Amino acid sequence: MMGMKPNMVIAELMKMNVFASINAEIDLKIAKEIGEKHGFTVRKEEKKKAAPVPPSTAKKIAAKKKQEVEDAPDALLPRPPVVTFMGHVDHGKTSLLDKVRNTRVTAGESGGITQHIGAYTVEINDSKITFLDTPGHAAFTAMRARGANLTDIAVLVVAADDGVMPQTIEAIKHAKAAGVCTIIAMNKMDLRSANPDRLKQQLQENDVMVEDWGGDIGCIPVSAETGEGIDALLERILLESEMLELKANPNKAANGFVVEAQMEPGMGPTASVLVKSGTLKVGDNVVCGKYWGRIKALISDQGKKVRAAGPSTAVKILGLTNVPGAGDEFQVMSTDREAKSISEEMQAEDRTLQLQGGVAPKKMSLDDLFGSADAGPEKKELKVLIKTDVHGSLEAIEQSLRGIKSEKVEINIIGNDVGNITVNDVMLASASDAIILGFHTGKENGANAAAKREGVEIRLYSIIYELIEDVESAMKGLLEPELREQVIGEAEIREVFELSRKSKIAGCMVMSGRISAKARIRIKNGNDILFEGLIGSLKRFQNEAPEVRQGQECGIRPDNFTNFNAGDTIEAYIVEKITQEL
């Protein structure tokens, strides 16, 4: 509006010791000073007056808001619930999903599900349930972070023999943060070591009150192995969905989110989408993320071509110009010209933003640190910036963090202050490659945008121990794991069978433990080690065997080694990675 070129404004700012890029936000006070120098009066615009929107962005906003007009109550019809399974690793999420899929997918489908599209629908009592096949809270949160609040009900899978584990607690937090209805599935109830009462007690300790103990969260005993409780779990999901009164308008242009997307041979770019509202049809013109396309085909979760897909239905779409990102929104446009125009403008703005340095390389995040044990010796310092609501909390958190004793990892508090998280905090964290931890505090205008632009992670907490636990886990993630060797079995070579000059089989008797085909072996003559390496082949009679146990005979062909004799011993061992203590 002043008619000045950007470089002139940047030069003026530099004279005032303000270093800002072309896209940076500046204080109103500084803007007023620059305006006065050039004969202009700068004032804050009143909220009533809409800010001028560039034409390209205006079209984008119009596209996004097009379907957000409130539907009339009589236009809303019941829709199936969308369910995500979450929980700790190896607690049986995938097994449970497979059991549900195999027992409840519409009967009579030859070959069952032939297309994995990231979601599928099952039927029970003439009602439908859509399952998102992206188990684990990481995928759930990644989708939610991009505005894709697809999940209506979260099923928290907990093994009855293992109980509540760290990832279970993390999943509980993520489900609570998303505000979704939660159901507990106590898996592995067929095992003798299952202890449901201990599990319920652990859940209570983590602020999850199940119905049996006076709470309002359903807790269903199930077994992915035997199928016990599967029907009860599905009925509970339907009951919860009835109470949620899930409805959508199917009689309008569709919108929704991308679950998965990929480039497929013979099909080109494909995207598995979940329809949020409206009905998606073959021939529709869609803007999907920053790309567009005319839908050539819709493929259902059973691999069949369909003509249309209503609310809470997952389908694979063909006909896009490029591969969108998981969590991207899709919107049906009235014409292909409109869809193409909006897509091109989005891509142009994206390129401009990258050229202007708006997209920064990703900085460190706590999730990266949890799994960065293999990152190497150079990462031995965790930098954090703390913001709290009051000084008392600040001192308590700082004291607790400094109290985490470790000779291997150093925690470096690069800044601490009281108040909301500001753009300056984000810039400081960006320069230091640090993480921002907020306790009972919010974010000022522009902080979120700056964090996204700079790739800085902001974590907000309301409970101190959660903050401390996350930081401790992150510090452990910085350490390289210890390699620990565990002997799992021993076998004696009773006879040697020569197949050729370069291939011999050791006819063995397993004396103790077990010999696994995936294990490493040592061949020993007394105390002398003749060979150390892998098993080329492990056979029981004429068949390949995954493992052979104590008291059984087997044939072992060591990988690239033949210099062994009857009487030698074979020791099988595995190498475990153990997380180091701080």
- From the candidate CATH numbers 3.40.630.30, 2.40.30.10, 3.40.720.10, 3.40.50.300, the one assigned to the domain spanning 255-355: 2.40.30.10
**In the prediction, which pLDDT does 162 show?**
82
Domain ranges of the chain: 6-52, 80-245, 255-355, 366-478, 482-578
Q: Is the pLDDT of residue 409 over 90?
A: no
**In the prediction, which pLDDT does 481 show?**
66
Residue 101 pLDDT level (bands cut at 50, 70, 90): confident
Tell me how far apart the alpha carbons of residues 285 and 2 are, in angstroms, rounded to a whole number. 41
pLDDT mean across residues, the chain? 80
Q: Is the pLDDT of residue 322 over 90?
A: no
Distances (CA, A) of 101 to 105, 116, 124, 132, 337: 5, 12, 12, 12, 41
What average pLDDT does the segment 489-518 reach? 91
Nearest to 359 by CA among 410, 428, 430, 414: 430
**In the prediction, which pLDDT does 18 show?**
84
Percent pLDDT > 70 in the chain is 82
Residue 374 pLDDT level (bands cut at 50, 70, 90): very low
Q: Which CATH superfamily is domain 482-578 in?
A: Translation factors (2.40.30.10)
**In the prediction, which pLDDT does 354 show?**
62
pLDDT tens-digit series, residues 176-191: 767 788 899 998 888 8
Query: Taking CA 274 as the corner, what is the angle to CA 273 and CA 279, rounded to the nearest 5 degrees?
Result: 100
**In the prediction, which pLDDT does 568 show?**
93
pLDDT tens-digit series, residues 195-247: 888 888 888 888 788 888 878 888 899 988 888 888 899 989 999 888 888 88
pLDDT tens-digit series, residues 451-481: 888 888 898 988 888 888 888 877 776 656 6
Where is average pLDDT lowest: 29-33, 143-147, 445-449?
143-147
Residue 515 pLDDT level (bands cut at 50, 70, 90): very high
What average pLDDT does the segment 140-166 reach? 72
Q: Is the pLDDT of residue 400 over 70?
A: yes
Q: Is the pLDDT of residue 331 over 50?
A: yes
Beta strands in 392-517 (DSSP E): 410-418, 435-439, 458-461, 482-500, 503-516
Query: Taking CA 203 as the corner, what is the angle to CA 201 and CA 208, rounded to the nearest 5 degrees?
Result: 125
Contact predicate 239/215, CB 8 Å? no
- From the candidate CATH numbers 3.40.228.10, 3.20.20.20, 3.40.50.300, 3.30.499.10, the one assigned to the domain spanning 80-245: 3.40.50.300
pLDDT tens-digit series, residues 31-64: 888 888 888 888 877 654 444 445 544 445 455 5
Q: What is the enclosing helix (H) or strand (E) of 185?
A: strand 181-187
**In the prediction, which pLDDT does 522 show?**
92
**In the prediction, which pLDDT does 441 show?**
87
pLDDT tens-digit series, residues 522-557: 999 988 889 999 999 999 988 899 999 999 999 999
Q: Is the pLDDT of residue 3 over 50?
A: yes
Residue 517 pLDDT level (bands cut at 50, 70, 90): very high
Residues ≥6 apart with Cβ < 8 Å to 47 = none
Distances (CA, A) of 204 to 189, 197, 220: 19, 11, 16
**Residue 216 or residue 282, greater confidence:** 282
**In the prediction, which pLDDT does 474 show?**
73
Q: What is the CATH number of domain 366-478?
A: 3.40.50.10050
**Quick check: do 366-478 and 482-578 share a fold?**
no
Q: What is the pTM of this model?
A: 0.50
Percent pLDDT > 90 in the chain is 17
**Residue 387 or residue 409, greater confidence:** 387
